[in-house]
Structure 1
Amino acid sequence: MKLNRIIPALALCAASATCSAQAAAPGLPAHPFVSTSGKAQLWMRPDIGELKFEAGAQNASVETAAAALQETSASIMQLMAEHGVQPEDIEAHELDKKSVPVSGREQPDYSMGRLFNVRIRDLAQWPELMAKLVAMDHITNINSHFDRTDGDDLNTQLMAAAADDARGKATSLAKAFGRKLGPVVAIARGPLDKIGAPFIQQQPGKETRGIAGPAAGSGKYAIPDSIPYSQTVSAIFVLK
């Protein structure tokens, strides 16, 4: 067989194998398609803060431990009131009680704790409130988080911008190959796990939002200048 006949024959065999593999692959669309992703992000100054911490008490007497925890809880509520935090912005429903072995003593201590979740709407109060909270006895596991009251609206706008970004990339990619972009046939928040299963939307996870970076300004507990908001989408489009 001549060389000029062998090459087309090999090419035909390769094309047939590819088509067969594609036809056998589960979940692949039957039409030509292009997959792209888009992202939109912005940084905004926070206007609300959230504190999570635990108040605790420990004593050999259950009654004494409970009384001490109640006293600490009352001090926390007073501190919050002094800094303009409303009672409806304070959650303190969970109560934990456990026995703690004490070395050299048969009778254990009783440890009691209460979890607090506090929303700080006036961030001007944040530095002083944080300093006083940290200085209080029997307060542990303090975590802070910043956000914006219009965070949901911001994420909605970013989602639309990310979708536009994905469509724009897909349009340019299709044009580079002499094709036109058709309708979208699959979308997902974040990356698609497998191109072979494009019609199953990913389980949407919570977007990273309002994570506080290093505090800005001169104060130890100052408010960060900005926090990130970000949305990412992936989409599959038909090629015309």
Structure 2
Amino acid sequence: MLKRFAAALLLAAAALPGMAADLPNHPFIHVSATADQYIMPDVGEIDIDIVSLEPDADAAWKLVNERLEASRALFAENGVAPEDVLVQDIARRPRKVEVLAEGQPLPMETRVTLHVTVRKLDGWTPIMRALLVMKDLESLAVSFNRSDREKVEADLLQQAIGMARLKAKDIAGGIGARLGAATGVSIGPLKNLSNAMGMSSDSNARGGGVRRGARTEMALVQAMQLAQSVDVIYRIGGK
């Protein structure tokens, strides 16, 4: 036991120089700050699967193609450009089931995955209302974004840095010192704190973020909460 304890102390002591090397070699204040903003989106995205459970391959492909053409017509009627309707995956494969009767073969499914970008959100509600009642659709999920996301990110970054500086000045004042120059900044990714919406009706559904069950919410354009975080290290000045 003593030998193991001594070995642990040696390892900890060996790690200390490395840990210290990551910290400034001057008195410092480390602060974190997050700026957030609620903003209406101007771009919407839809992920959806068209699925047929027809055992006959020809009949299955016929049904999937009919639903695909109906979906494309719906999108076109509501201002979605053809290049914004992306067919990501086409497959015919065994369908996963929880219980299968003895001697029964695995049922087959024919599945086509679509990713749709809606750049004119005045067409969002009619598109979603139609999709929500369309047959043979699964794994429907939606999310929103901004076309000027980089500008929003830059504005939030400046706000977060300003908040961090004010916080650091308060800390410095509280210890009777003045705040020195910033000597290090770490920026986190822009985060969308709003929930992605989707629903899952089968075991093959793909993950699409946090799920919410109210189907009617998916037809509404909702505000996003975007947040930007920073970590800043400031030198502590003289008294």
TM over 0.5, shorter chain: yes
Q: Quick check: 1:39 aligned with 2:23?
A: no
Q: Which shifted more, 226-235 or 153-162?
A: 226-235
TM-score (norm 2): 0.74
Rate the CA distance shift 1:125–1:105 in 2: closer, same or farther, 3 A: farther
**Which of the numbers 220, 226, 230 marks the counterpart of 2:227?**
230
Question: What do residues 117-175 of structure 1 show as CA deviations (whole Å, max 9, x unaligned)?
Answer: 11112212111111111111111111111222212211111011101110121122112
Counterpart of 2:161 in structure 1 is 163
Partner of 1:6: none
Q: 2:55 aligns with which of 40, 60, 68?
A: 60
Whether the aligned pair in 1 keeps the contact of 2:153 and 2:190 (CA below 8 Å) is no
SS at match of 2:226: strand
Structure 1 residues 166-186: Cα deviation after superposition (integer angstroms, max 9, x where no partner): 012112211222222222222
Task: Please give the alpha-carbon distance, in whole angstroms, between the structure 2 residues aligned to 1:65 and 1:105.
Answer: 23
Pairs within 5 Å for 1:12-91: 26=20, 27-91=22-86
Q: Which runs of 4+ in 1 moved over 4 A?
A: 22-25, 101-108, 209-214
Closer, same or farther: CA 174–220 of 1 in aligned 2, 3 Å: closer
TM-score by length of 1: 0.73
Residue 24 (structure 1) shift: 8.7
Question: Could you say if the C-alpha distance between residues 65 and 149 of structure 1 is closer, same or farther in structure 2, counting changes exceeding 3 Å?
Answer: same
CA–CA distance in structure 1, aligned partners of residues 186 and 19 of structure 2: 21
User: Which range is displaced more, 60-69 or 113-122?
Assistant: 60-69
1:134 aligns with 2:132: yes
Per the alignment, do residues 148 and 234 of structure 1 end up closer, same or farther by CA in structure 2, a change over 3 Å counting?
same
Q: Against the structure 1 CA distance between its residues 121 and 25, is the aligned structure 2 distance closer, same or farther, given a 3 Å change threshold? A: closer
2-side partners of 1:227 and 1:58: how far apart?
Answer: 37
Percentage of matched positions with identical amino acids: 23
Counterpart residue number, 1:195: none
Whichever of the two has the greater Rg, that structure is 1
The runs of 5 or more residues in structure 2 that have no matched partner are: 1-15, 198-211
Alpha-carbon distance between aligned partners in 1 of 2:113 and 2:18, rounded to the nearest angstrom: 55
- Please, which of 141, 153, 173 is the counterpart of residue 143 of structure 1? 141
Task: Return closer, same or farther for 1:77/1:105 CA change in 2, 3 Å cut-off.
Answer: farther
* Larger mean Cα displacement after TM superposition, 123-132 or 22-31: 22-31
Q: Which residue of 2 aligns with 1:173?
A: 171
Instruction: Indicate if the aligned counterparts of 2:45 and 2:143 stay in contact, CA closer than 8 A.
Output: yes
Q: Which residue of 1 aligns with 2:185?
A: 187
- Cα 1:137–1:45 shift into 2, 3 Å: same
Distance in structure 1 (CA, Å) of the matches to 2:119 and 2:23: 50
Residue deviations 1:169-226, cap 9 Å, x none?
Answer: 1122112222222222222235xxxxxxxxxxxxxx4522664689xxx9982322x2
The CA distance in 1 between the partners of 2:116 and 2:27, in whole Å, is 53
Aligned mates of 2:18, 2:217 — CA distance in 1: 63
Give, in angstroms, the shift of residue 71 of structure 1. 1.7
Paired residue type of 2:60:
A
Aligned length: 201
